[in-house]
Chain A
């Protein structure tokens, strides 16, 4: 048989070029057939003699002989390999090859045992492939941009997978794809991701979902691939976010500021959704980045509250209920990123108070919906005062009905609407009362005696700085208008019922409105075009102490109702901001102390660093306490004998019951 095979071997060697493989294939088929017959003839021997004497079975022996005499014969072995590799290379460069023949030959190698396939073909195949892709990827990366390169890499990868299914052993798939991944992706990943004008950052900027998706899928295949993408995305996001929140131009318009944040979030949400198959780790990276930069600007809580204020005042008019919910949910998401939730609460309370008192809120449902959201997010304590404000509004309505029912004679003359606000629930400032016009103060007195008559033991104080009034006014040529003004503005205007000309000093004396408020309110009535119901001398944009004021007889407006710049919630001025800041800091002290005591009460003994981190953990729902401030509170508690330092280990604190 060996000599027969040697003959065959010669025949195959003789085959030229193309026909070499065909010849090999043909002979192999013949050999197989022969082998089958031999096996059948010698079947009895195969079954009885061979197992008991540990000899090689006939069929296997035949294959081994084929292997040794044909496939591994010195003249055939390398030629076979080169021919196969050459065919693969040709296919890679675009030629069409006889895949059936390829499959048969490869099948032969596999039939001869997986070792033969691996040793005589696969090993070399992988080496050659690696070399091929190394060269090719180098070529591509020099001349393609990132998107194109990724397309090519993806195509190559798919080709290889297809090749495996057509004529290679399925086990080779992982190996060859590994080669492609390593040569085409892993080795060039950093360069690709950071490629100028077309790298990841540019794809993110231009919302190239397809390219991003491709990059995600390819990088997912190589170690650290996604990590790299994620890191680049995070740092890009942080950088742009930082620019956004620290850009002084942006700070001028809080609503726009928050809208930009929301847009940015939407953009990345859809990138992660469309290109990164909603990968959790990417979502987390997005959240972290937002948390990072949103808190870089200390005014973010104020601005978010202003954004809500703007939406609830006018932005949501005519918007469907579902859309309102969507907007509110987005706001809540930004809220979640805030470290200083208590600051947000402070501002929110202020803005809500103004909305409620001026009756300017678009929808009570939307207001309540947001409160519910805040409550689920932060718990009952966070919103109890906000809810108290709503309750007060409701109770006040009932009170006013009762008041007018018991004073039927008040149908004529001015109408008074009082909101009774619970101290503590509302962000009231120490009330700077002004002198109300006599008509009004008489009415106020009546209300006071009515209210105190029904609720004994209460105290009423007037918050004139928060009220507003509708007045009917007639001007020089008989034109009539209804003016919507603040209480302060009303007090000033009423003075002109009995006077032609009033100096600033006279107004100040008569009303006793605090100077900064008075100036602001005069400015809005005398210096704003279209709202200038007063005329002032000399004409200028600012109010001076020496100015004199007249009713502007030439006042005209297209509208019957004129709303005169009521104090709309706006960005706080620098001193106001600092005052709020200070109040927040003051409010935090007892919270930090309470947290320290809670922790120490349960732990009894705890070291400094752990205490700091526990306190931080407990409080970060509401704000991020400053370690120095915590330390101050600890020292204050030591001074008041709630805690003591351990005598031996000075890092330890002990709780003193």
Chain B
């Protein structure tokens, strides 16, 4: 949650917020009713612990205190994955629906279980079938304004480091270096963002021998490859 970082730490008082009126959502019988009931109540309680009472949502401050309770940095990729799991719509906020669906899917009704579930979640998000979805989510999650199409270079670089840094360390380093020196682009759009992932997955690095400019790569990657090649040849 890099964007939430500017908020000050959550006041402890938020944890004693009164529970909001119970909402009557449809709950189809699926598992045995007793533990489920209990579980959903616990999930709701947990939500109330972090939620901003006037908003009826967990706000950036709530998320920070959640992070500190879980002893996880708020820029940790796992928090982003949690947001992905919750299908969170708005950066820095969790609605009650998102929270309930997410925690239920993670089978977590306490902080302790949630912390444990996070490492499982990491495996899930990084699995081949899910990673692209998560990667795209991470980008869209940063689009905070209405009709916003791109993420500024600075944030894009941070985001790249968070989501791709562990898997494609050298690629991300080079790419970030390039993005910061180039002058042609001020924002990264979705197409370019997806291009980065495809580049990391498909192109041998650092020689980039199988990079073919005729393969309809976004122009920014053509430029990156030129820049990289020029740099290594001038050395």
A residues near B, CB below 8 A?
607-609, 628, 631-632, 635, 638-639, 645, 650-651, 653
CB < 8 Å neighbour of A645 from B150, B189, B216: B216
Mostly helix, strand, loop or mixed at chain B's interface? helix
Let me know if B189 and A650 touch, CB within 8 A.
no
Question: Size band of the B side of the interface?
Answer: 10 to 19
Let me know if B219 and A650 touch, CB within 8 A.
no
Residues of A within 8 A of B192 (CB): 635
Residues of B within 8 A of A628 (CB): 219, 222
Interface string of B184-211 (1 = CB under 8 A from A): 0000011110100010000000000000
CB < 8 Å neighbour of A635 from B198, B214, B215, B219: B219
Let me know if B191 and A638 touch, CB within 8 A.
yes
Docked CA distance A645–B218 (Å): 11
* Nearest residue, chain A, Cβ from B220: A635
Query: In the complex where A639-B149, A650-B198 touch, is A645 in contact with B191 (Cβ < 8 A)?
Result: yes
Let me know if B219 and A631 touch, CB within 8 A.
yes
Instruction: Kindly provide the distance from the CB of B156 to the nearest chain A CB, expressed in whole angstroms.
Output: 15
Let me know if A639 and B190 touch, CB within 8 A.
yes
Let me know if A608 and B216 touch, CB within 8 A.
yes
Query: In the complex where A639-B189, A645-B191, A650-B198 touch, is A609 in contact with B214 (Cβ < 8 A)?
Result: yes
* Nearest residue, chain B, Cβ from A639: B189
Can you list 12 A-B pairs, Cβ within 8 angstroms, ordered by A? A607-B216, A608-B215, A608-B216, A631-B219, A631-B222, A632-B219, A635-B189, A635-B192, A635-B219, A639-B150, A650-B215, A653-B216
Residues of B within 8 A of A631 (CB): 216, 219, 222
Instruction: Kindly provide the distance from the CB of A638 to the nearest chain B CB, expressed in whole angstroms.
Output: 5
Docked CA distance A638–B198 (Å): 17
Docked CA distance A608–B217 (Å): 9
Residues of B within 8 A of A650 (CB): 198, 215-216
* Nearest residue, chain B, Cβ from A607: B216
Q: Which of B142-158 contact A (CB under 8 A)?
A: 149-150
Instruction: Kindly provide the distance from the CB of B80 to the nearest chain A CB, expressed in whole angstroms.
Output: 23
Docked CA distance A281–B198 (Å): 48
Most chain B beta-carbon contacts within 10 A, residue among A607, A632, A639, A653: A639
* Nearest residue, chain A, Cβ from B202: A650
* Nearest residue, chain B, Cβ from A645: B191
Docked CA distance A381–B190 (Å): 37
Let me know if B191 and A651 touch, CB within 8 A.
no
Residues of A within 8 A of B214 (CB): 608-609
Instruction: Kindly provide the distance from the CB of B152 to the nearest chain A CB, expressed in whole angstroms.
Output: 15
Interface string of B150-185 (1 = CB under 8 A from A): 100000000000000000000000000000000000
Docked CA distance A639–B194 (Å): 12
Interface string of B71-105 (1 = CB under 8 A from A): 00000000000000000000000000000000000
Docked CA distance A609–B219 (Å): 14
Residues of A within 8 A of B198 (CB): 650
Instruction: Kindly provide the distance from the CB of A652 to the nearest chain B CB, expressed in whole angstroms.
Output: 8
Residues of B within 8 A of A608 (CB): 214-216
**Closest 5 pairs between A and B when the two form their complex, measured CB to CB:** A608-B216, A651-B216, A639-B189, A638-B191, A631-B219
Residues of B within 8 A of A607 (CB): 216
Docked CA distance A608–B218 (Å): 11
Instruction: Kindly provide the distance from the CB of B146 to the nearest chain A CB, expressed in whole angstroms.
Output: 15
Docked CA distance A653–B216 (Å): 9
Docked CA distance A645–B190 (Å): 11
Docked CA distance A515–B218 (Å): 45
- Not counting A638-B189, A650-B215, a sample of 10 additional A-B residue pairs whose C-beta atoms are within 8 angstroms of each other reads A607-B216, A628-B219, A628-B222, A632-B219, A635-B192, A639-B150, A639-B189, A645-B216, A650-B198, A653-B216
Instruction: Kindly provide the distance from the CB of A656 to the nearest chain B CB, expressed in whole angstroms.
Output: 13
* Nearest residue, chain A, Cβ from B219: A631
Docked CA distance A595–B149 (Å): 24
Let me know if B219 and A651 touch, CB within 8 A.
no
Instruction: Kindly provide the distance from the CB of A653 to the nearest chain B CB, expressed in whole angstroms.
Output: 8
Query: In the complex where A645-B191, A650-B198 touch, is A635 in contact with B218 (Cβ < 8 A)?
Result: yes
* Nearest residue, chain A, Cβ from B194: A645
* Nearest residue, chain A, Cβ from B190: A639
Most chain B beta-carbon contacts within 10 A, residue among A607, A635, A653: A635
